[in-house]
Structure 1
Amino acid sequence: MTCRICLIEDDEIIGEALTERLEVEGMACDWFKEGLSAIQALKQRKYCLAVSDINLPDMTGEALFTALQDKGIGLPPFLFITGFGSIDQAVRLLKMGAEDYLTKPFDVAELIEKVRGRCRYVALGAPGAPRLGVSAEMKTIEAALSKLSESASTVLITGESGVGKEYVARALHQDHEAGTTLPFVAVNCGAIPEQLLEAELFGHEKGAFTGAVREKRGLFEQAHGGTLFLDEIGDMPLAMQVKLLRAIQERRIQRVGSERGIDVDIRLICATHRDLDQMVRDGEFREDLFYRINVVNIQIPPLRERKDDILWYARDFLRQFAGQKDDRPFTLHSKAEQAMLSYPWPGNIRELRNCIERACVLSPSSVITPEFLFGESWRATLARMSDLGGETLAEYITQCERDYVRQALAENENRIGDTAATLGISRKTLWDKMRKLGLKDET
């Protein structure tokens, strides 16, 4: 599936350059020079991402964004381009639900990386491709999503912090939307101050409180027809839990400062790293709300308990970060793979991604070694691993050959003919070695 970008930019030079670069990167791009034409396109077509300048000839980027929200249109993630004088406005847009922003003059490579990051969800959603992992545990969860997408309107996802709860929530949403453009609205319940949470969830009328200069649709309304993802629901204050329970039961909300009820049609996905059952016993979480959101529970195991996913995610992240250093592909040294499989990953997938990104930035070579993944503090652990021994001479020689061929492939950007010439062997011999050494799946 091709990732399609909606580019909204009135500058001819910037617009043409970005369109050409995105298409070179293998993405489709629809370029609009004014806000009204972009709004019409966003109503009619599904996009992976919208990239918009804030200063447009017929309206501001903020006006465009709020107009789409007010019309209840399912929005793709929005990335804004702004001058330094509009940074405050860009930050305000982030609070309204925008994905990110870049300041002019911006680095095109940085923009492309952000676009790639969003397009990853499309790539992971390709028919037959695993989206959540290759371990038996994640395959079981993925197999259950198609059934849940047809029936379950309320789902609770539990697991340690960084374990991939939003990955699962987005995958469930993608199965549910089935090719249509439906909103996915995510909010971290622990990140919003208690006094603002009600207005964020349910919206408010103009003049409802100091600072309410215009009416605002809440997250429930923004998610109408699609999915509302309440992350870290265990951090929600008790007083707010009562109002949330009523909204979930009735699928009806009331804006702050209004007496009118508004019906909402949403799929509700909640997530937490906390033990809600224990919190109920301790009086920290309402029992009736717990039973209401715990209709279907998806428990995601920590990464250390599904080791098959570690290298799968690592290689996926390496592909994402490829291109940051002269477009060279990154690969993992065998010792780095051993270290990753031995490490307990207390921060789970989030920590793994951070380690891979740091290694891609710091490594002088395209072959990632352990010290660039974990830093100097990991050397002692690696030394202990080396002291364990257990390898026969044949195993040691095979591993050396694997590392040597892998490095040659990386240095030649996986071009088989050039790699074979570098190694002084024929293409057929190289293919045979790659098959025996388990390297064909890495290219």
Structure 2
Amino acid sequence: MSQRLCLIEDDPIMGESLQDRFTLEGFEVDWCPTAAEGERHLRRGGYAAVISDIRLPDRGGDALYLDLKGEGLLLPPFIFITGFGAIETAVRLLKEGASDFVTKPFDLDELVEKVRALAERHTPEAGDDAEAVLGIAPAMRRLESRLLRLARAGAGVLITGESGVGKEHAARYLHEAAAPGQPFVAVNCGALTETLLEAELFGHEKGAFTGADRARRGVFEQAQGGTLFLDEIGDMSPAMQVRLLRAIQERQVTRVGGETPIPVDIRLVSATHRDLRTMVEAGTFREDLYYRVNTVQVRIPPLRERPEDILWFAGRFLAEACAEQGREDLQALSNAAREALLGHDWPGNLRELRHAIERAVILSEGPQVGPADLLDDGAAAEAVEAEGHGLSDYLRRCERAHIVQALEANAGHMARTAESLGISRKNLWEKMKKLGLSAS
């Protein structure tokens, strides 16, 4: 499998030349003519190395690197292309963790060897933050590993967590690991009346009720061979619980108004923000159905319990929203905006965070998102007012998140973690003690 290389270069002649040469050398090259496009590619991840010019039309390559690094992303090795006048900038980038730089005009053979050596030492793995799907917090990395194990088992899975934490996202991750290419069908059990939910789940025959002018397959049939995701299963009525239990036990459904049972072969994944165990004790949720859907239960923690994920998801949502809105001029979150994000409780979790970022992309008038773009006026004013005296707390949180990510990437190995951070092992121990961290 060829290694992927991200090339960020605005000069069409140099960009094409480098792309052609590295393609001949066996690399898969993504050439990005702007920093904004480079950022979108880097957030998707999977690169063995990055070659970036420092001078770019929309944003400096150095600013791109430092901003992504400041968010806590574990980046692939960076090699910068610089003119003679920007050598001081390149040296500063080396101190910040960049791998190397070359000065124009440079020896192309020498650059190829530098990139090859770095790429061989850095093989992107599933553990890299750039490859994370559900988040970079330790709890979410453990959840990803658990879902991968469950994908091989085929057991019924119940996903619990507050509204907006990403339960459907986790269900899709499980599905893609278990049955890629097969259908994934989701239905919100709390959003439909009992009659509509019955027809949605099991389908109906023509003439089964007023308005049924044709036969329709239900979601059980639509998900044949794949995954059926029942969101908010705790909102289902007792009568519907009986029909669902029968369909799960018999692995067949009968359409509304029909008589012929239809066999179904699906993986069932359910989700709820309710406490089903308490509902069973109260008699509002069937105990036999509870055990059917709850072979294995996984909990997604709320965003406030995993602050490492806030800026990581914010960066991804920002890149997506900018692409959808055509805002190539919008480059990053300001420091005050990051402080506001980290200081907010996010009761609506990822759904609220995505909405805030989408709102900010619409309202922002400058090259950076400010706190007033993200939050209401009162919260934004507090963030701006606290920016000065809250800087130490902000830096402490950033440092903690960065060390946690490095420990995760190095499986808790202290020597390797210290080396990747560019500090001594003793210094790492001191920082971890101060921040309340352990290698585990």
Judge same fold: TM > 0.5, yes or no: yes
CA–CA distance in structure 1, aligned partners of residues 366 and 378 of structure 2: 20
Give the secondary structure class of the aligned counterpart of 1:217: coil
* CA spacing shift, 1:173–1:391, aligned 2, 3 Å: closer
* CA spacing shift, 1:379–1:25, aligned 2, 3 Å: closer
* CA spacing shift, 1:256–1:361, aligned 2, 3 Å: same
List per-residue Cα deviations over 1:139-195 (Å, max 9, x = no partner): 0011112211111331100000000001100001110124xx210000000111112
Which structure 2 residues correspond to residues 60-79 of structure 1 after superposition, within 5 A? none
Partner of 1:86: none
List per-residue Cα deviations over 1:402-421 (Å, max 9, x = no partner): xxxxxxxxxxxxxxxxxxxx
List per-residue Cα deviations over 1:17-73 (Å, max 9, x = no partner): xxxxxxx999xxxxxxxxxxxxxxxxxxxxxxxxxxxxxxxxxxxxxxxxxxxxxxx
The worse-fitting range, judged by mean Cα deviation, of 379-388 and 281-290 is 379-388
Partner of 2:247: 247
Give the secondary structure class of the aligned counterpart of 1:224: coil
Indicate if the aligned counterparts of 2:337 and 2:369 stay in contact, CA closer than 8 A: yes
Indicate if the aligned counterparts of 1:319 and 1:329 stay in contact, CA closer than 8 A: no
Indicate if the aligned counterparts of 1:153 and 1:266 stay in contact, CA closer than 8 A: no
TM-score (norm 2): 0.58
* CA spacing shift, 1:366–1:171, aligned 2, 3 Å: same
Which structure 2 residues correspond to residues 423-434 of structure 1 after superposition, within 5 A? none
CA–CA distance in structure 1, aligned partners of residues 256 and 287 of structure 2: 25
Partner of 1:399: none
Partner of 2:142: 140
Deviation at 1:210, TM superposition (A): 2.0
CA–CA distance in structure 1, aligned partners of residues 283 and 370 of structure 2: 48
Deviation at 1:128, TM superposition (A): 7.1
Give the secondary structure class of the aligned counterpart of 2:253: strand
Which structure 2 residues correspond to residues 166-181 of structure 1 after superposition, within 5 A? 166-178=168-180, 181=181
Which structure 2 residues correspond to residues 16-95 of structure 1 after superposition, within 5 A? none
CA–CA distance in structure 2, aligned partners of residues 390 and 142 of structure 1: 33
Indicate if the aligned counterparts of 2:334 and 2:368 stay in contact, CA closer than 8 A: yes
Give the secondary structure class of the aligned counterpart of 1:298: strand
Deviation at 1:125, TM superposition (A): 12
The worse-fitting range, judged by mean Cα deviation, of 286-295 and 124-133 is 124-133
CA–CA distance in structure 2, aligned partners of residues 126 and 202 of structure 1: 42
Deviation at 1:288, TM superposition (A): 1.2
Q: 2:368 is aligned with what amino acid?
A: V
* CA spacing shift, 1:389–1:156, aligned 2, 3 Å: closer
Deviation at 1:387, TM superposition (A): 7.0
Deviation at 1:198, TM superposition (A): 1.2
* CA spacing shift, 1:240–1:133, aligned 2, 3 Å: same
Q: 1:259 is aligned with what amino acid?
A: E
TM-score (norm 1): 0.58
Deviation at 1:328, TM superposition (A): 2.2
List per-residue Cα deviations over 1:267-311 (Å, max 9, x = no partner): 101001111111112222111111111101110000000011101
Give the secondary structure class of the aligned counterpart of 1:163: coil
CA–CA distance in structure 2, aligned partners of residues 389 and 307 of structure 1: 16
CA–CA distance in structure 2, aligned partners of residues 133 and 338 of structure 1: 19
Deviation at 1:366, TM superposition (A): 2.1
Deviation at 1:126, TM superposition (A): 11
5+ residue gaps, structure 1, are 2-23, 27-123, 396-434, 437-443
Higher relative contact order (CA 8 A, sep 6+): 2
Deviation at 1:379, TM superposition (A): 3.7
CA–CA distance in structure 1, aligned partners of residues 310 and 352 of structure 2: 11
Partner of 1:198: 198
Give the secondary structure class of the aligned counterpart of 1:156: strand
Instruction: Please give the root-mean-square deviation of Cα atoms over the aligned residues, in Å.
Output: 3.1
Indicate if the aligned counterparts of 1:125 and 1:131 stay in contact, CA closer than 8 A: no
Deviation at 1:380, TM superposition (A): 4.8
Q: 1:350 is aligned with what amino acid?
A: R
Indicate if the aligned counterparts of 1:330 and 1:360 stay in contact, CA closer than 8 A: no
Indicate if the aligned counterparts of 1:224 and 1:264 stay in contact, CA closer than 8 A: yes
Indicate if the aligned counterparts of 1:157 and 1:300 stay in contact, CA closer than 8 A: yes
**Count of residues in Structure 1 that have an aligned counterpart in Structure 2:** 277
Partner of 1:354: 355
